[in-house]
Amino acid sequence: MGTVVFSDVHADADALGMVAATLRDPAFARRFGPVDTLVNLGDLLHRGNCPGPTLELIRDLAKEYRLISVIGNHDHAYLNGVPVSGSDEMSSLRHEQLRGSPLLEVFAGMPMEWVDRGMLFVHGGPLDLGTQTLRLKCWQRLSHTAGDSFTGYHYTAPMAFEALERRGLSFLVCGHQHTHVCCRKTMNGISEYPIRYVPEKEPVFAGCEMESARTLLDMPTLFRIGGCHGDQPEFGYLDATSFTYIRLTCPSRCGAPFA
């Protein structure tokens, strides 16, 4: 059985719905394998205009699959009244209307991280830096230089691998920054591994075109996936031997506004 990982939906229920429809398509299981677990790496809220429908879809997916969720910085900001940028007037209004909704119960007790089979799943980063908001794991950001920032603490790949090793872990799976990255630790050091998307031979999954890039789980690796929003939502598929980056393109949504 396999695990699907997604992050940074940002209240785009349509994009998450595209991914859900793709997973239900028998062609997906034929190509990648069956799915029994979904991992939401956070940031269900802010920026998009459909926070309610997004949380409704998360609720429904939890009835269909085993669903694991960790909190994102925008979720944390919304729940704790921390001002963040990126939401327009309509998005702000829709999120304000969500206050007090039972749909928000999805965040009750939601952890900062989840560990499974030598892998750390987290929204931002792996470092234990205390309770200051911008140093929490859901606010940390992978970068080339380390230090505090108004966007969240920046950490480097070597720092991440050191943190993983101390815990006996080999892999980090995160989101947060909306761009996919793969960093590998080899005998010769740490380097960024190129992700080369290849169009799938079966051209349409649930009405969407698909590209993928597979990486073996044969050495310590940092996997950062792109955002699951907009016209080309990204997510990952994880099985016992590999992690596959996946990107969808739905022709009917091309050029459509961020929902």
What single string gives the DSSP state of each residue in 12-77? -HHHHHHHHHHHHSHHHHHHT--EEEEEE-S--SSSSS-HHHHHHHHHHHHHHSEEEE---HHHHH
Q: How far apart are CA 74 and CA 81, in angstroms?
A: 10
**Nearest partner of 90 among 49, 43, 55, 50, judged by Cα:** 49
Share of the chain above pLDDT 90, in %: 90
Helix (H) or strand (E) holding 6: strand 2-6
Residue 120 is predicted with a pLDDT of 98
- Rounded to whole angstroms, the Cα distance separating 16 from 230 reads 9
194 secondary structure, DSSP code: P
Instruction: Give strand pairing partners of 37.
Output: 3, 66
Q: What is the pLDDT of residues 159-188, one digit of tens each?
A: 999 999 999 999 999 999 999 999 999 999
Distance of CA 142 to the CA centre of its chain: 14
- The chain-wide mean pLDDT, for the chain, equals 94
For 24, 29, 82, 173, 233, the CA distances from 50, given in Å and listed in that order, are 22, 29, 20, 26, 16
> What are the residues whose beta carbons fall under 8 Å from the beta carbon of 169, sequence distance 6 or more?
115, 118, 119, 120
- Cα separation values, 161 from 25, 46, 137, 182, 239, Å: 36, 30, 15, 13, 21
Q: What is the mean pLDDT of residues 66-73?
A: 98
Compute how many other C-beta atoms are within 10 angstroms of the C-beta atom of residue 173: 23
Tens of pLDDT, residues 44-57: 999 999 999 999 99
Provide the pLDDT for residue 21.
93
Q: Is the pLDDT at 69 greater than 80, yes or no? A: yes
Calculate the alpha carbon distances from 22 to 39, 46, 56, 132, 211 in Å: 16, 24, 18, 39, 13
Strand, coil or helix: what is 125? coil
pLDDT, one tens digit per residue, over 111-154 is 999 999 999 999 999 999 999 999 999 999 999 999 999 999 99
Instruction: Specify the pTM.
Output: 0.95
